[in-house]
Amino acid sequence: MNVAELHRQIEHKFAPEPLVAVQALANTYSFEDDEERLLDPESAQRWLVDSGLGTRDVGVSDAELDELIEFRSVIRELIEANHDGDAAPARAAELAVLVAEHPTPLAVGEHGELVLDLAPAPSVDAVIAQMLGIVHRSQLEDEWRRLKICASDECRWAFYDTSRNRGGTWCQMEVCGNRIKNRRYRDRQSRGVSGESG
């Protein structure tokens, strides 16, 4: 994977490798700008290659694009559940189907140990299988629960929470956090003013 490119896309609060690849996929749609990186098969193929997740000749059909976007949706909902530990059962069932259809790719390390195969994948199915393996690995290493969705409805960016108590809520406190706090302050002020005049 091209970590420098993934960091460029995410901009801040990066997950550790290789979880950063799943974070980048979750952020291929920007809610704030209404910008879609996976707009069509060509742009999806370009994203996979530029990110170092797909081989140079990875193909993306219309059906595979739909599959990748649906997988992104499942992943985002599971990440969102990390805020409060909810199980997101509907998506957990879909995840079980995905796991059955996309076996995790393994490679053999230099000392004979089995490791997740992180080589660029030749197909969308192989990318999904690899990402499922990354999610599994991050859960075993207790990293998964730190990957969250920004609580600002205008943002919804996936970020990695490095706070000691895992209490992070916004991808950027100085932007999204302050935006929410200012809005709440204005709401309280307007309610106070209308309450006094009534």
| Residue stretches of the chain with pLDDT short of 50 | 185, 195-198
User: For residues 183 and 172, is the Cβ–Cβ distance under 8 A?
Assistant: no
Could you tell me the pTM of the whole model? 0.86
Which residue from 21, 65, 66 is spatially nearest to 43, judged by alpha carbons?
Answer: 65
pLDDT of residue 119: 97
Beta-carbon contacts of residue 156 (< 8 Å; ≥ 6 apart): 31, 32, 149, 150
pLDDT of residue 185: 47
Three-state SS letters, 82-133: HHCCCCCHHHHHHHHHHHHHCCCCEEECCCCCEEECCCCEEEHHHHHHHHHH
Q: How far apart are CA 47 and CA 49, in angstroms?
A: 6
Q: How far apart are CA 16 and CA 108, in angstroms?
A: 22
Q: Indicate the number of domains in the chain.
A: 1
Return the CATH number at 149: 1.10.3300.10
DSSP letter for 30, please. Answer: E
pLDDT of residue 87: 52
What is each CA distance from 112 to 105, 108, 109, in whole angstroms? Answer: 16, 6, 5
**What is the domain extent for residue 68?**
3-197
